[in-house]
Structure 1
Amino acid sequence: MPATSKAQQKAAGAALAAKRGEQKVSELKGASKSMYDSMSEKELEDMASTPRHGKPEHKEDE
């Protein structure tokens, strides 16, 4: 599942770093904390590796 915004991609990257032990889980907040709890390492990797070009900073609510 690709990221739909730069903010979502950054949150996935932070959660992925915590899953891999590169960052403390206690440092996660908000979306990255919930992603850490609910997504697998593979799902986070897919979301964090989405190209940023052309993505909005934040996703627009519909």
Structure 2
Amino acid sequence: MPAKSQAQQMAAGAALSAKRGEKKVSELEGAAKQMYESMDEQELEKMASTRQKGKPEHNRKS
């Protein structure tokens, strides 16, 4: 599933780094921590690799 905002893409990247052992899990906060716990590495890879160009900074909920 591709990221819908730049913030979501960056959170997925942080969670992916923790999954790979490049970053400590204790450093994760908010959405990144939730993604780390609920998604596998392959899902995080897809979301983190989404291009940021043309995406809003944050996805506004209606």
- Where on the TM-score scale, by shorter chain, does this alignment land: which range? over 0.9
Q: Which runs of 4+ in 1 moved over 2 A?
A: none
- TM-score (normalised: structure 2): 0.98
Q: CA RMSD in A?
A: 0.4
Equivalents in 2 of 1:53, 1:7: separation in Å? 12
Q: Any gaps of 5 or more consecutive residues in structure 1?
A: none
How big is each residue's C-alpha offset from its partner over 1:15-53, in whole Å with a ceiling of 9 and x where there is no partner?
000000000000000000000000000000000000111
Equivalents in 2 of 1:9, 1:3: separation in Å? 5
- TM-score (normalised: structure 1): 0.98
Q: Any gaps of 5 or more consecutive residues in structure 2?
A: none
1:49 aligned to 2:54? no
Equivalents in 1 of 2:28, 2:59: separation in Å? 20
